Amino acid sequence: MAIADGAAFSNEMEGLAGLQELRPRKVAIFLPESFEWIILKSGVVKLSDEERLLRPEEHADSTEYMSWEQYFTALLETETAATRYMKYEKSKLPDYYLQDDNAAKIRSRVEGIALEG
């Protein structure tokens, strides 16, 4: 299974699609807007303004963000900046997101693919 940011993964798609052809029903590909989007959709972070997630097209200024991935990263960083144990940084996922209940909520947002454990 591959879960990747669609924009960041595009140059790897040909190889993965080839594997998927060789192993039908054995290779799953999930390319969400971004990993940060999955975290935000999971509900493990309470947003101060839910509309920023539900209607990003009304809030993501294209002069500030080059991609949805940048917008969702900035949103997650902003929403968690004041809480040390859940402060999100791309370089290392805080333990808060890896706790069993939070990890399960995040996994549940990977729609269309059955994940266990």
Tokens 């929403």 correspond to what residue?
79
Whole-model pTM? Answer: 0.75
Residue 3, SS3 per DSSP: strand
Same structural domain for residues 22 and 42? no
Distance of CA 38 to the CA centre of its chain: 3
The model's pLDDT over 89-103, given as tens digits with 9 standing for 90+, comes to 988 999 999 999 999
Domain count, the chain: 2
**Cβ contacts of residue 72 below 8 Å, gap of 6+?**
33, 34, 36, 37, 40, 56
Same structural domain for residues 89 and 102? yes
Same structural domain for residues 49 and 2? no
The model's pLDDT over 17-72, given as tens digits with 9 standing for 90+, comes to 788 788 877 777 777 768 899 999 999 999 999 999 999 999 999 899 988 889 99
Residue 29, SS3 per DSSP: strand
The answer as to whether 113 is a domain residue is no
